[in-house]
Amino acid sequence: MRGSIALIGFGEAGSTFARAAGWGSRAAAFDVDPARRAEIKTHGVTPCANAAEALAGAAIVLSLVTADQALAVASECAGLVAPDALFCDMNSVAPGTKRSAAQAFAKAGRRYVDVAVMAPVNPAHMAVPLNISGPDADEASERLHEIGFTKATVVGDAIGRASAIKLVRSVMVKGLEALTAEMMMAAHAEGVADDVLASLDASERALSWAERADYNLDRMMVHGRRRAAEMAEAAQMLRDLGIAPMMTENTVNWQQILADRGINPPPAGYAAKLAAFHKKSTGKN
């Protein structure tokens, strides 16, 4: 019987966890990349020729593959895992993808858990925050703690909830990164980077994200048309500099859309603003 832990995929996350936790022969692993299969041995983990071999006898499975392969891997593994095993899908994919994968497990009478890795695995290692959801989330949390993860949190019993929290958050986090790149390319091209950054520091306000969301929605609903026109000029500036205004053009669109709904004055609170926007957009409460 193989080790009680199976890793499907042995890239950065899999190798980091195996090294940090020191699972050794308790774990078996399979990766489609032959070079990674060779690396598995260096961590004391049992290398396997295929997924079925890695899954045999495993009590907990960590799926750590590329996002485009996550559903296919889950569908394959659904018919291979032991009846009492927990398949922890730790891949960064859409909630709908996780729900589709869970359906394959349900049809096979096997157990599937949605796990979202909420921070880079390096340098956090086994302290990386994990959000867990699904009918077996509580048991999965216990097992993940048992194998060395120290920050596993259950966020609900619905498959997709953990991944929704991660990906909706990523809209902001990764979006800010992309906006930063677009802004800094333009600032550098115009030779005004230091001045722009100093101006941002001077205008920065200490707000919670709930307050910030409410404030931002308010400004767009009240001043969106003017801001859309300003951002259209910013997009033209970027084009003049030879920089594709990918983020800025869609800023124009969102500013204009919120202004065009005519929610002015906006109601207090971000929830009320979003409800008003939904009603104006769909005609439904």
Domains of the chain by residue range: 5-164, 205-282
Q: Could you please report the per-residue DSSP string of 15-34? A: HHHHHHHT-GGGEEEE-SSH
Q: Indicate whether 1 pLDDT > 60.
A: no
Backbone angles phi, psi at 9, to 5 degrees: 100, 130
Place of tokens 């990349």: 33
pLDDT at position 265 is 95
Which of 246, 111, 229, 134 is CA-nearest to residue 186?
A: 246
* Number of alpha carbons in the 13 Å side-chain half-sphere of residue 36: 19
* In the chain, % of residues over pLDDT 70: 99
Q: Indicate whether 192 pLDDT > 90.
A: yes
The helix or strand, by DSSP H or E, that contains position 156, with its residue range, turns out to be strand 152-156
pLDDT at position 235 is 92
Residues 61/77, Cβ–Cβ less than 8 Å: yes
Question: What dihedral angle (degrees, nearest 10) is formed by the CA atoms of 162, 165, 169, 174?
Answer: 30
Does domain 5-164 sit in CATH 3.40.50.720?
Answer: yes
Q: Which residues have a Cβ under 8 Å from the Cβ of 277 and sit 6 or more positions away?
A: 217, 221, 258, 261, 263
CB atoms within 10 A of CB 271: 12
For the chain, what is the mean pLDDT? 93
- pTM score: 0.84
Residues 231/252, Cβ–Cβ less than 8 Å: yes
pLDDT at position 181 is 85
The amino acid at residue 75 is S
Q: Indicate whether 110 pLDDT > 90.
A: yes
Residues 128/117, Cβ–Cβ less than 8 Å: yes
pLDDT at position 209 is 87
Cis omega (within 30 of 0) for bond into 265: yes
- DSSP designation for 261: T
